[in-house]
């Protein structure tokens, strides 16, 4: 049996050996521009591919934690809502209390509009 990895950027499966060879090439050449990244279809540098690889590795490690994916705060909707409110607050865009998850309202009270 030969293991393979699916690359969403190219919508293809590649062997683990080809994947490792490509990532090693990107890591050793951080300034070189590659046709696409691991998750992106546009041209990226080797440094960007390294960041994508590391982010994916950390995600796969965290998925093996016993409580990963359980609970209300793990739903994609909650994560997206929290990300949006953090983006608004960090970029000094007006953020409303009604758009903020309940758990974050107390912490962001001084930055939210009623």
pLDDT tens digit string along 8-43? 888 889 999 988 998 999 999 999 999 888 888 889
Whole-model pTM?
0.54
**Judging by DSSP bridges, how do beta strands 112-113 and 95-96 pair with one another?**
parallel
The fraction of the chain above a pLDDT of 90, given in percent, is 21
Count how many domains the chain has.
2
**Within 10 Å of residue 61's Cβ, how many Cβ atoms?**
10
Q: What is the pLDDT of residue 51?
A: 92
Q: Flag whether 67 is in a domain.
A: no
Q: What is the pLDDT of residue 67?
A: 64
Q: Flag whether 42 is in a domain.
A: yes
**Mean pLDDT, residues 84-108 taken together:** 82
CB burial readout 64-81, b (16+ within 10 A) else e: eeeeeeeeeeeeeeeeee
Q: What is the pLDDT of residue 113?
A: 79
Which residues span the domain enclosing 108?
A: 72-113
Alpha-carbon dihedral 12, 28, 34, 60, rounded to 10 degrees: 40
Element (H, E) at 4: strand 4-7
């Amino acid at each position: 049996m030969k293991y393979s990895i699916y690359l969403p950027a190219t919508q293809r499966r590649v062997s683990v050996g080809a994947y490792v060879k490509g990532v090693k090439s990107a890591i050793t050449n951080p300034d070189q521009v590659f046709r696409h990244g691991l998750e992106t279809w546009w041209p990226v540098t080797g440094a960007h591919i390294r960041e994508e690889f590391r982010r994916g590795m950390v995600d796969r490690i965290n998925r093996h934690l016993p409580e990963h994916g359980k609970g209300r705060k793990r739903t994609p909707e909650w994560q997206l809502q929290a990300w949006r409110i953090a983006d608004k607050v960090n970029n000094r865009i007006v953020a409303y209390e009604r758009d903020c998850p309940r758990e974050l309202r107390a912490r962001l009270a001084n930055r939210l509009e009623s």
